[in-house]
């Protein structure tokens, strides 16, 4: 007898930021989607595909925002980023950070935090990489930690091609004010959950793509 099942598998979820996007919104969505739950979410934002003309502005504001995040015990009021779940997972994520340093431009973070309140637990500073290409490990493999890979795009079509160039297809989000792209996005993207001006994470209604 056949049994109906639903599975949530891995993700390499893109946040696409087009040329007309509000950069403050894009930064906020990156932080919420990429670093909340310490990046330990199947639908977490691990790739940001951003218009080439907006990348530097975006990175400047993103680093400024990330520097203000409070890392610590998740049971302490005000904490925004807690520890990774296990030592093994911490080691895995730190391994990806080292791989990213060899391949891409290391913009911020990625350090293993061990002093003071961080002596007990598996803490790391959220990491940001730029100049990431499609062939790099941090662009293709699920890291499941607070690591965001920033990839340049040249327009909507390029963004869709790069976003779909992955064996995963869990969640994807678009940041734009262009109603034409908003209408096209669910049809073009190969993802089970589609968001517009929202994080790749979150308990929102699914809008499966046609693919």
At 102-158, the pLDDT tens digits run 999 999 999 999 999 999 999 999 999 999 999 999 999 999 999 999 999 999 999
Which residues 6+ apart lie within 8 Å of 79 measured at CB?
A: 70, 71, 72, 73
2: confidence class by pLDDT, cuts 50, 70, 90: confident
208 has pLDDT over 80: no
What CATH superfamily is the domain 13-196?
A: Aldehyde Dehydrogenase; Chain A, domain 2 (3.40.309.10)
Q: 157: how many CB neighbours lie within 10 A of its CB?
A: 10
210 has pLDDT over 90: no
Domain ranges of the chain: 13-196
206 has pLDDT over 80: no
Active site residues: 8, 42
Q: What is the DSSP letter of 71?
A: B
Confidence (pLDDT) at 203:
55
Confidence (pLDDT) at 174:
98
Q: Compute the average pLDDT of residues 195-202.
A: 93
């Amino acid at each position: 007898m056949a049994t109906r099942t639903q599975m949530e598998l891995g993700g390499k979820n893109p946040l696409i930021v087009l040329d007309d996007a509000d950069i403050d919104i894009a930064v906020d969505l990156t932080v919420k989607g990429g670093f909340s739950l310490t990046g330990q979410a199947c639908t977490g934002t691990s790739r940001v595909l951003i218009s080439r003309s907006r990348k530097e502005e975006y990175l400047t504001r993103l680093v400024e925002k990330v520097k203000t995040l409070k890392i610590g015990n998740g049971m302490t009021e005000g904490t925004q980023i807690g520890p990774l779940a296990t030592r093994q997972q911490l080691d895995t994520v730190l391994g990806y950070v080292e791989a990213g340093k060899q391949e891409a431009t290391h913009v911020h973070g990625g350090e293993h935090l061990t002093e003071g309140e961080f002596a007990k637990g598996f803490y790391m500073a959220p990491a940001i990489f730029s100049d990431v290409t499609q062939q790099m490990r941090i662009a293709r493999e699920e890291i499941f930690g607070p690591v965001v890979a920033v990839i340049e795009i040249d327009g909507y079509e390029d963004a869709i091609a790069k976003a779909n160039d992955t064996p995963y297809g869990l969640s994807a989000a678009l940041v734009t004010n262009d109603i034409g792209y908003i209408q096209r996005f669910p049809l073009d993207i190969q993802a089970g959950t589609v968001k517009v001006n929202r994080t790749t994470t979150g308990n929102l209604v699914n809008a499966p793509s046609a693919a």
